[in-house]
């Protein structure tokens, strides 16, 4: 994509505030954090519910970006930057994308529905790419921002497009339709996703089908209820399992690992094998088959290509690797647009200074090989990658375009050289086209752990963070608690994500937690909430900021600061306003003020207190008393200080229940991890963790036999018992056993039987179609953390933090 600034000004009808309107733009950006922003970038300062892009313009200018689409020009950059002033920057981005789309005349498939959009898109790309230069949405870029960014990727060499469109409320699809301008439509299905944004199912269906108002053909499963919402002037191409009037009638027969579809299409009858048996995959396959039929593919081609379909991995996974490496697994796709996303994710998650990319040949770019690898090389340079390992005949051919590149013409050559590559203390992005089987490289590099894992959804962390941030006044800052190993979810990785989101402060309980974060390269200020005096030296050595809560502690730290000749070292003062756990009391304040005055070694960065019952509105009056007491005590202290410290008292529940007390900063804790005490609020949070394991062994036991220690379970009839390699040493409490708790296998409940052992538990899987090696869910949607806590008479905090660190954490982003 190449645009001139003059043309953009014309298209957007923007007010030009600048001096250099003769310029070429080769990159559109909305993310100030991306290392790909450079002199050729046009930055759109999007104003959203959680962030305002205008706040980051000065930082971008310092990094070389000069062109910005804004609603107002920052006063500090008048006469410096080049600005296109518009009324609404999001609408401007969409307008530019719609104009760009209008420059091209080739088939465009627009896909919408409640589920299956991304899978159908990826499968169609696989099926059609041997015959077309396909441009498609990267990953799940189907939103009001994602769609225009996707469409702006079209270039002169593409001749087929596939874009998905997602909506969550009324009046969104019309804009996406103008941007995509699809010629062929696919409606995957209508489910319950985003029901909360619409008055009823009919309103949602009507909104989704607006994508198809100008298509020449709409592909969908025949459904009379849906048909009522489709413009009768639109030609439909339908399939069905039970309605013979559909254009394509399908009979399904399930085999061991495949499904045979017997197809009747006009006067043709034929069979197609697909490598799946589940209903969702069969339906997604049929939508793809309908496209091939419409495009006139030969029957033999259809059968061969449909049989070659594969499970789509829609996650970027973060894994611990050998020799202190960190792996980012994106081993199932290799195209230019998704490479850009993966490189941004690499920068977000890196835990080592050294960054390595293992990259296969890149496909479906629409560019010549020379142009493509020149752009890839520039992308690698922009992201400051230290080493590139290329695998494939084409990247081997263009290896000299890269700095510090080792290339191999085949996987065999790479394996032969593996030991000489010396992977150690680096963050490694593994990104390859499916044909290269880069998952084998991941297996080779991955640190081996047992089969029990806690999957952490980084998208959910971001969603929950932004949910609470949206509740804050514009100038209220946010501290996020990552103590107790990130509430059991993984401290360093979550801290890195929060740093990426520009959180103001991080909070930990003890010095060693903060030291781990600092050693991992975290730059955000870190407050240590419960510092021990023996750790004060380590706190200073690592630049941590202690919470001081007693006169004894203050005197000790002040003495150390005097010895070290520190100047204005940051500390935080904790006040006791009724919790009676830690903090200065009212009677301590005169002496504390006396100690503070006249010294220059310490600077009070913030004053804080802790609410006892912010989650229980029965104690609302007491909470108000705490807030009033805190305000009075903090004001008294601040009046004797040379600086103005931040004040903060609200925790997660306080943010929601006492918004009037946000003050200068709030402290987000368990809400980040998807847990709320309020049922309505809980519905708006996303689940962060899923605890998974596998079936190690199946036993078929007769009636009268027992299971586990103490023979606490006796079979009343013949039973099938599954052994799962997780126990109370991993965080599954013994009280969850013996029929109290359960696990999920293939969507079915299996009660835990007998005592939970240290490293194992047993479950009754009688009647469930399962085998050894199958995945089981121990915590997730069912049973949820809240379910387990309620049943065991405890709180979600205890469940989350009880998951031991020997359980492997796997981080992923959808």
Alpha-carbon 280 to chain mean position:
23
The number of beta carbons lying within 10 Å of the beta carbon of residue 317 is 17
Which residue out of 483, 574, 692, 808 is catalytically annotated? 483
| Structure-token match 């959808």, residue found | 814
The number of beta carbons lying within 10 Å of the beta carbon of residue 639 is 8
Of 577, 582, 588, residue with least CA distance to 555: 588
713 labelled catalytic: no
User: Which tokens sit at 599?
Assistant: 């010294």
Asked if 690 contacts 449 with a C-beta cutoff of 8 angstroms, the reply is no
User: Which tokens sit at 601?
Assistant: 């070694």
Of 104, 109, 107, residue with least CA distance to 121: 109
The secondary structure of 226-289 as a DSSP string is HHTTS-TTS-EEEEESS-TTSSEEEEEEE-SS-EEEEEEETTEEEEEEES--SHHHHHHHHHHH
Inter-helix orientation angle 336-349/491-500, to 10°: 120
User: Which tokens sit at 18?
Assistant: 């600048």
Per-residue burial over 573-608, b = 16 or more CB atoms within 10 Å of its CB, e = otherwise:
bbbbbbeeebbbeeebbeebeeebeeeebbbbbbbb
483 labelled catalytic: yes
Q: What share of the chain is helix, strand, coil (3-state, %, to 5)?
A: 35, 25, 40
Angstrom CA distances, 512 to 86, 350, 801, stand at 49, 21, 17
| Structure-token match 């405890």, residue found | 794
Euclidean distance between CA atoms 69 and 83, whole angstroms: 6
Asked if 135 contacts 128 with a C-beta cutoff of 8 angstroms, the reply is no
The dihedrals phi and psi of 259, each to the nearest 5 degrees, come to: -125, 140
Quick check: helix, strand or coil at residue 49? coil
Euclidean distance between CA atoms 698 and 810, whole angstroms: 26
Inter-helix orientation angle 491-500/458-469, to 10°: 50
Quick check: helix, strand or coil at residue 640? coil
> How are strands ordered across the β-sheet holding 27-29?
15-17, 82-85, 67-70, 41-44, 27-29
Euclidean distance between CA atoms 351 and 347, whole angstroms: 9
Q: Is 24 exposed, middle or buried (0-12, 13-18, 19+ CB in 10 A)?
A: exposed
Asked if 572 contacts 597 with a C-beta cutoff of 8 angstroms, the reply is no
* Torsion (CA) 150, 156, 157, 161 in degrees, nearest 10: 40
Of 504, 510, 459, 503, residue with least CA distance to 484: 510
| Structure-token match 């229940």, residue found | 657
The secondary structure of 470-535 as a DSSP string is TTS-TT-EEEEE-HHHHHTT-HHHHHHHHHHTT-SEEEESSHHHHHHHHHTT--S-EEESS--GGG
Find the angle CA(26)-CA(29)-CA(35) to the nearest 5 degrees: 90
Euclidean distance between CA atoms 127 and 304, whole angstroms: 10
Query: Which residues belong to the active site?
Result: 483, 709
């Amino acid at each position: 994509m190449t645009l001139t600034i003059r043309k953009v000004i014309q298209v957007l009808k923007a007010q030009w505030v600048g001096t250099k309107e003769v310029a070429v733009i080769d990159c559109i950006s909305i993310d100030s954090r991306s290392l790909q922003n450079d002199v050729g970038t046009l930055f759109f300062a999007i104003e959203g519910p959680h962030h305002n892009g205008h706040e980051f313009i000065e930082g971008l200018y310092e990094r070389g970006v000069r062109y910005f689409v804004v609603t107002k020009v920052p006063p500090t950059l008048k006469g410096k930057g080049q600005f296109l002033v518009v009324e609404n920057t999001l609408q401007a981005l969409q307008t530019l994308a719609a104009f760009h789309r209008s420059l091209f005349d080739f088939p465009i498939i627009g896909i919408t529905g409640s589920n299956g959009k991304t899978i159908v898109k990826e499968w169609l790309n696989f099926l059609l790419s041997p015959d077309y230069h396909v441009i498609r949405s990267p990953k799940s870029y189907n939103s009001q921002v994602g769609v225009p960014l996707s469409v702006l990727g079209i270039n002169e060499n593409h001749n087929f497009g596939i874009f998905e469109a997602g909506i969550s409320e009324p009046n969104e699809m019309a804009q996406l339709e103008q941007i995509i301008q699809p010629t062929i439509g696919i409606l995957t299905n209508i489910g319950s996703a985003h029901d909360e944004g619409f008055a009823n199912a009919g309103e949602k269906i009507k909104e989704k089908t607006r994508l198809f108002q100008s298509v020449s053909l709409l592909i969908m499963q025949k459904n009379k209820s849906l048909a009522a919402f489709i413009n009768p002037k639109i030609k439909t191409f339908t399939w069905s399992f039970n309605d013979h009037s559909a254009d394509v009638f399908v009979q399904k027969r399930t085999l061991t690992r495949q499904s045979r579809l017997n197809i009747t299409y006009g006067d043709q009858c034929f069979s197609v094998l697909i490598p799946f048996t589940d209903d969702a995959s069969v339906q997604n396959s049929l939508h793809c088959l309908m496209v091939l039929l419409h495009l006139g593919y030969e029957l033999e081609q259809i059968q061969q290509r449909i049989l070659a379909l594969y499970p789509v991995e829609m996650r970027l996974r973060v894994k611990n690797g050998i020799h202190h490496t960190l792996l980012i697994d994106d081993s199932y796709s290799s195209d230019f647009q998704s490479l850009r996303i993966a490189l941004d994710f690499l920068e977000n998650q890196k835990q080592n200074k050294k960054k390595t990319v293992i990259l296969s040949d890149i496909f479906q770019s629409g560019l010549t090989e020379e142009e493509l690898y020149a752009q890839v090389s520039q992308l690698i340079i922009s992201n400051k990658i230290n080493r590139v390992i290329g695998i494939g005949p084409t990247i081997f051919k263009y290896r000299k375009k890269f700095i510090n590149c080792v290339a191999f013409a085949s996987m065999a050559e790479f394996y032969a050289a593996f030991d000489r590559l010396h992977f150690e203390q680096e963050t490694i992005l593994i990104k390859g086209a499916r044909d290269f089987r880069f998952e084998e490289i991941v297996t080779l590099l991955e640190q081996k752990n047992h089969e029990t894992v806690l999957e952490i959804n980084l998208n959910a962390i971001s969603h929950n963070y932004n949910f609470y941030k949206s509740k804050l006044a514009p100038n209220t800052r946010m501290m996020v608690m990552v103590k107790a190993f990130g509430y059991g979810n993984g401290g360093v990785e979550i801290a890195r994500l929060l740093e990426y989101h520009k959180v103001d402060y991080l909070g930990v309980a003890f010095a060693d937690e903060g030291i781990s974060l600092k050693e991992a390269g975290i730059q955000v200020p870190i407050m240590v909430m419960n510092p021990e005096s023996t750790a004060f030296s380590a706190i200073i050595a690592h630049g941590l900021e202690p919470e001081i809560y007693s006169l004894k502690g203050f005197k000790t730290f002040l003495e150390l600061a005097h010895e070290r000749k520190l100047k204005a070292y940051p500390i935080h003062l904790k006040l006791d306003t009724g919790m009676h756990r830690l903090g200065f009391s009212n009677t301590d304040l005169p002496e504390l003020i006396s100690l503070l005055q006249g010294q220059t070694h310490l600077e009070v960065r913030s004053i804080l207190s802790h609410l006892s019952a912010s989650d229980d509105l029965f104690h609302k009056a007491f909470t108000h008393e705490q807030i009033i007491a805190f305000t009075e005590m903090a004001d008294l202290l601040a009046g004797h200080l040379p600086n103005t410290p931040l004040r903060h008292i609200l925790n997660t529940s306080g943010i929601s229940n006492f918004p009037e007390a946000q003050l200068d900063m709030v402290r987000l804790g368990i809400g980040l991890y998807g847990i709320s005490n309020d049922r309505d609020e809980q519905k708006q949070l996303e689940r962060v963790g899923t605890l998974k394991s596998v079936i190690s062994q199946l036993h078929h036991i007769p009636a009268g036999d027992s299971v586990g220690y103490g023979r606490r379970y006796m079979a009343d009839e013949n039973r099938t018992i599954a052994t799962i390699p997780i126990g109370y040493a991993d965080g599954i409490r013994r009280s969850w056993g013996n029929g109290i708790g359960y696990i999920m296998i293939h969507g079915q409940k299996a009660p835990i039987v007998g005592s939970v052992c240290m490293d194992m538990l047993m479950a009754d899987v009688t009647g469930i179609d399962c085998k050894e090696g199958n995945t089981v869910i121990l915590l997730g949607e069912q049973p949820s953390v809240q379910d387990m806590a309620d049943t065991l008479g405890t709180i979600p905090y205890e469940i989350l933090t009880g998951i031991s660190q020997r359980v492997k954490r796997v981080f992923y982003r959808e």
